């Protein structure tokens, strides 16, 4: 085929199900997977050539590809991965591609590496567009013209005009630093017998160069990380790339440093706080194949892998692997899918594996490697239950006398204590004592949460904020608003009353974000703080060697939920929090405050008998036909008008294709009936494992087109039932 006769089907990063056709100009060479720039309407987009086919006369009026980039073509397996993901989650292929193309600057020719930063002068002329440019550049970091344009939603011409004006200045960027070659044999630890056996098994799995999934199931502190490093080393010896997935929040500097020590080379980190320039460096390094180890959050799956040979999913049970916004996907499940498509092994690691993975082990689909003991002298913490019905708890307090005594002893011994409460802010609810009014969000059916440090009330569903107030908005009475219940800030206040000398840190996503949060986590690990009060983000795989006491303030909090996974989740959360204690030289203890000490979960926590608790959970799931014994998909209908959402949900229910193999529950008003001013209804599809759920959904929804303000979101394998 000569180049004159070629048509390229180009997939664009837009909500499109199929690629668009373009003519390849005679002097241009493209292959399947090439990254190209093409015109669409008045704009131009970067897309990927999905297919190349011969030119026929009816294609006369096609537009030309504008340019082809020198970036290595997207490998066929990666394209297949994007297709599969789109099919599985019923998303347009283009929306999935968009996640793989979030680094526009990676396509600029390497010689044109200039950037802009804010200058001292003000623009001669101010327009809303220019204002937006200044806003995105406010923090002073150099950004490239295309990045600024994308962030501010303006054309690059605006950026260039402002540079001429002197409002921003151009500077040359140094070349991107390549990634160093890791050394698979650098600084491996001498293993104990159990670790050695686990490492051998993982190593031989990788050596086989086939698809296989192994669950590395070991108690907290047993050396899972050290063990899966051996699997990574083996893949590196084969010359392949390795992806280590972590929940975003566990991607800390100390963890990256640990990977660097083990392999004597800095790994590529990938998370949402990366500077654009570093983002570009990693993206290119992965595409070119010299970024050999990537330690990343879930979106790292979509990097343009040149030669991926292993994925390790650490903390595989973590809910954070499920993305709910935009394209909803589960990164652990997609890691397994990727391995199956590209024929490489996958390691899932956890101290509290998901029921999904445990059942896959029982079915013989996954192999299992277990580590039963903590490494060295460290032992699993003893877990004690504090029965809050009989414990001594002063009114208006949340910490019982026995827990307080232990915190005191811990601090006095020079150690670190942790108090865990999974609630952000000061108080989850504010009530007017004069008229009984609850302060609620104007946009959502949810309470406003008081954040006292920041002197605001905030809705945790839409982010709506109001200044803290002293006056009831309903009856105008002053001084009668009272906080109900504790959040971490209120708990910190109580702790400070008891321990005025303590160095207290609050670990909560809204107090310390991003880089700052990573700093605080490091300070906790270094023992700068001796009393840590935290939400669930303390449970995510951190290694705090000074911590010897973990106190769980309200163990019953998550159990009330109607989520089918709430039992399993609570179990994992509490076991992980308790597991933060005693990972260093000194033994640890954990205390669990509960009003239901006879609950099977609490009893299992105390006795450490995970298997019998999970066996019971499995029976419940099995009886209910719930995952992993059955499959679920949620349909979430929303609209700014209540009646519209209701009518659409009911209309959907009327056209359910006749079937005996599955059940559609609802429609019903969602548990959170209104979010961001949108009224919400839900339908839940429940199917046995053998049913083709996606085919059913496609058939059902093939002619359904929500109009106007109506939205229909399909959530396959939902984790969120609100
Ligand atoms: P996990 O991932 O199971 O929680 P880690 O791999 O983080 O456990 O190990 C816990 C701690 O024990 C770490 O500080 C680690 O360096 C140390 N450790 C684990 N195995 C060994 C070993 N064989 N020799 C020395 N230290 C070890
Ligand atoms: Zn709200």
Q: How far is the CA of 436 from the centre of ligand 2 (A)?
A: 20
Mutate which of 193, 223, 314, 348 for ligand 1 pocket (most atoms within 8 A of beta carbon): 223
Mutate which of 190, 197, 216, 221 for ligand 1 pocket (most atoms within 8 A of beta carbon): 221
Atom of ligand 1 nearest to the CA of 545: 14
Q: How far is the CA of 225 from the centre of ligand 1 (A)?
A: 7
The residue whose CA has the least distance to atom 9 of ligand 1 is 223
Q: Which ligand is nearest to the CA of 447?
A: 2
- Comparing CA positions, the residue from 284, 267, 243, 246 lying closest to residue 183 is 267
* Radius of gyration, CA atoms only, the chain: 27
Mutate which of 314, 347, 375, 544 for ligand 1 pocket (most atoms within 8 A of beta carbon): 375
Share above pLDDT 90 across residues of the chain, in percent, rounded to a whole number: 72
Q: How far is the CA of 448 from the centre of ligand 2 (A)?
A: 8
pLDDT band at 111 (very low <50, low <70, confident <90, very high): low
- What number is the average pLDDT over the span 333-339? 98
- Cα 67 to Cα 373: distance, rounded to the nearest angstrom: 57
- What number is the average pLDDT over the span 118-132? 81
- More confident site: 377 or 533: 533
Q: Which ligand is nearest to the CA of 216?
A: 1
pLDDT band at 513 (very low <50, low <70, confident <90, very high): low
- More confident site: 542 or 633: 633
Mutate which of 215, 226, 229, 372 for ligand 1 pocket (most atoms within 8 A of beta carbon): 226
Q: How far is the CA of 52 from the centre of ligand 1 (A)?
A: 50
The strand pairing partners of 266, in sequence order, are none
| 698-714 pLDDT tens trace | 999 999 999 999 999 99
Residue 3 has pLDDT above 70, yes or no: no
Residue 517 has pLDDT above 60, yes or no: yes
pLDDT band at 599 (very low <50, low <70, confident <90, very high): very high
pLDDT band at 420 (very low <50, low <70, confident <90, very high): very high
Q: Give the full edge-to-edge strand order of the sheet including 67-68.
A: 20-23, 6-11, 43-54, 35-40, 67-68
- Comparing CA positions, the residue from 611, 588, 591, 590 lying closest to residue 221 is 588
Atom of ligand 1 nearest to the CA of 314: 2
Q: How far is the CA of 596 from the centre of ligand 2 (A)?
A: 32
- What number is the average pLDDT over the span 303-311? 96
Which stretches within 583-701 are classed as H helix?
Answer: 600-607, 610-624, 642-654, 693-701
Tokens standing for residue 105? 């600057």
pLDDT band at 2 (very low <50, low <70, confident <90, very high): very low
pLDDT band at 148 (very low <50, low <70, confident <90, very high): confident
Question: HSE-up of 133 (CA within 13 Å, CB side)?
Answer: 32
| 553-563 pLDDT tens trace | 999 987 777 78
Count of C-beta atoms within a 10 Å radius of residue 585: 11
Tokens standing for residue 720? 């969120």
| 631-690 pLDDT tens trace | 999 999 999 999 999 999 999 999 999 988 899 999 999 999 999 999 999 999 999 999
Write the burial class of residue 198 (CB in 10 Å: 0-12 exposed, 13-18 middle, 19+ buried): buried
Tokens standing for residue 519? 């700093």
Ligand 1 pocket (Cβ < 6 Å) reads 189-192, 195, 218, 220-226, 375, 543
The residue whose CA has the least distance to atom 17 of ligand 1 is 223
The residue whose CA has the least distance to atom 23 of ligand 1 is 191
Atom of ligand 1 nearest to the CA of 191: 23
- Comparing CA positions, the residue from 654, 660, 662 lying closest to residue 704 is 654
Give the mean pLDDT of the chain. Answer: 91
Return the pLDDT at 1.
Answer: 44
Range 405-417 burial, b when 16+ CB lie within 10 A, else e: ebbeebbeeebbb
pLDDT band at 514 (very low <50, low <70, confident <90, very high): low
- Cα 604 to Cα 581: distance, rounded to the nearest angstrom: 18
| 427-464 pLDDT tens trace | 999 999 999 999 999 999 999 999 998 899 999 999 89
Q: Which ligand is nearest to the CA of 445?
A: 2
464: left (phi over 0), alpha (psi -120 to 50) or beta: beta
Q: How far is the CA of 629 from the centre of ligand 2 (A)?
A: 35
Using CA atoms, how far residue 586 sits from 65, 377, 395, 545, 576, in Å, is 65, 8, 34, 9, 18
| 265-303 pLDDT tens trace | 999 999 988 888 889 999 999 999 999 999 999 999 999
Return the pLDDT at 321.
Answer: 96
The residue whose CA has the least distance to atom 5 of ligand 1 is 223
- Comparing CA positions, the residue from 110, 105, 111, 112 lying closest to residue 143 is 105
- What number is the average pLDDT over the span 518-546? 89
- DSSP characters for 173-230? PPPPPPPPPP-TTTTPPPP-HHHHHHHHHHHHHHHTTS--EEEEEE-TTSSHHHHHHH
Q: How far is the CA of 462 from the centre of ligand 1 (A)?
A: 40
Count of C-beta atoms within a 10 Å radius of residue 170: 15
Asked if residue 628 has a cis previous peptide bond (ω within 30° of 0), the answer is yes
- Cα 505 to Cα 528: distance, rounded to the nearest angstrom: 9
| 171-200 pLDDT tens trace | 887 778 889 999 999 988 899 999 999 999
The residue whose CA has the least distance to atom 10 of ligand 1 is 221
Q: Residue written as tokens 């705090």?
A: 544
Tokens standing for residue 326? 């935009």
């Amino acid at each position: 085929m000569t180049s004159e006769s070629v048509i390229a089907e180009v997939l664009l990063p837009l909500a499109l199900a199929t690629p668009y056709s373009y003519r390849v100009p005679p002097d241009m060479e493209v292959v399947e997977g090439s990254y190209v720039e093409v015109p669409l309407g008045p704009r131009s987009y970067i897309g990927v050539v999905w297919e190349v086919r011969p030119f026929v006369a009816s294609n006369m009026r096609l537009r030309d590809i504008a340019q082809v980039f020198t970036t290595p073509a997207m490998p066929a397996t990666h394209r297949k991965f994007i297709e599969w993901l789109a099919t599985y989650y019923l998303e347009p292929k283009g929306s999935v591609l968009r996640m793989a193309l979030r680094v526009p600057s990676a396509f600029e020719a390497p010689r044109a590496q200039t950037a802009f930063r804010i200058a001292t002068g003000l623009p001669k002329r101010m327009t809303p567009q220019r204002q937006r440019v200044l806003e995105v550049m406010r923090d002073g970091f150099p950004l490239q013209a295309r990045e600024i344009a994308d962030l501010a939603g303006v054309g690059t011409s605006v950026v260039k005009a402002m540079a001429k004006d002197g409002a921003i200045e151009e500077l040359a960027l140094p070349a991107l630093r390549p990634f160093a070659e890791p050394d698979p044999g650098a600084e491996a630890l001498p293993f104990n017998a159990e670790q050695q056996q686990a490492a051998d098994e993982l190593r031989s799995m990788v050596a086989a160069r086939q698809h296989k999934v192994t669950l590395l199931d070991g108690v907290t502190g047993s050396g899972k990380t050290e063990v899966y490093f051996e699997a990574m080393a083996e893949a590196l010896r084969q010359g392949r790339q390795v992806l280590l997935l972590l929940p975003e929040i566990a991607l800390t500097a100390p963890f990256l440093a640990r990977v660097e020590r083990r392999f004597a080379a800095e790994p590529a980190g990938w998370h949402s706080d990366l500077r654009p320039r570093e983002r570009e460096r990693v993206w290119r390094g992965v595409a070119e194949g010299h970024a050999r180890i990537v330690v990343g959050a879930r979106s790292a799956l979509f990097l343009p892998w040149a030669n991926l040979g292993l994925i390790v999913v650490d903390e595989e049970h973590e809910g954070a692997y499920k993305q709910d916004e935009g394209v909803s996907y589960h990164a652990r499940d997609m890691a397994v899918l990727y391995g199956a498509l590209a024929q490489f092994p996958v390691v899932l690691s956890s101290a509290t594996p998901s029921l999904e993975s445990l059942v896959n082990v029982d079915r013989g689909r996954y192999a299992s490697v277990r580590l039963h003991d903590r490494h060295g002298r460290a032992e699993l913490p003893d877990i004690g239950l504090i029965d809050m019905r009989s414990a001594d708890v002063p009114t208006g307090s949340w910490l019982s006398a026995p827990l307080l005594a232990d915190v005191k002893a811990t601090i006095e011994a020079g150690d670190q204590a942790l108090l865990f409460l999974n609630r952000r802010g000061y108080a989850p609810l504010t009530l007017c004592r004069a008229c009984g009014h609850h302060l609620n969000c104007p946009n959502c059916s949810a309470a406003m949460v008081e954040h006292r440090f920041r002197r605001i009330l905030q809705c945790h569903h839409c982010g709506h904020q109001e200044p803290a107030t002293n006056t009831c908005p309903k009856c105008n009475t002053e001084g009668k608003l009272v906080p109900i219940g504790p959040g971490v800030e209120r708990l910190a206040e109580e702790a400070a009353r008891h321990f005025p000398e303590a160095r207290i840190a609050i670990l909560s996503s809204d107090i310390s974000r991003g880089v700052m949060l990573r700093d605080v986590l490091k300070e906790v690990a270094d023992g700068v703080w001796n009393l840590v009060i935290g939400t669930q983000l303390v449970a995510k795989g951190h290694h705090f060697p000074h911590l010897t006491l973990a106190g769980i303030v309200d163990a019953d909090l998550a159990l009330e939920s109607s989520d089918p996974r709430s039992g399993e989740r609570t179990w994992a959360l509490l076991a992980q929090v308790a597991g933060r204690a005693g990972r260093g030289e000194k033994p640890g203890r954990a205390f669990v405050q509960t009003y239901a000490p006879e609950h099977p979960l609490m009893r299992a926590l105390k006795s450490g008998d995970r298997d019998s608790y999970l066996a019971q959970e499995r029976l419940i799931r099995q009886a209910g036909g719930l995952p992993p014994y059955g499959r679920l998909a949620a349909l979430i209908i929303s609209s700014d008008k209540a009646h519209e959402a209701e009518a659409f949900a009911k209309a959907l229910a009327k056209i359910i294709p006749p079937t005996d193999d599955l059940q559609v529950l609802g429609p019903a008003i969602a548990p959170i009936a209104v979010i961001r001013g949108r009224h919400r209804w839900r339908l839940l599809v429940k199917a046995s494992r053998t049913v083709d759920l996606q085919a059913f959904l496609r058939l059902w929804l093939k002619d359904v087109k929500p109009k106007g303000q109506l939205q229909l979101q399909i959530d396959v394998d939902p984790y969120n039932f609100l």
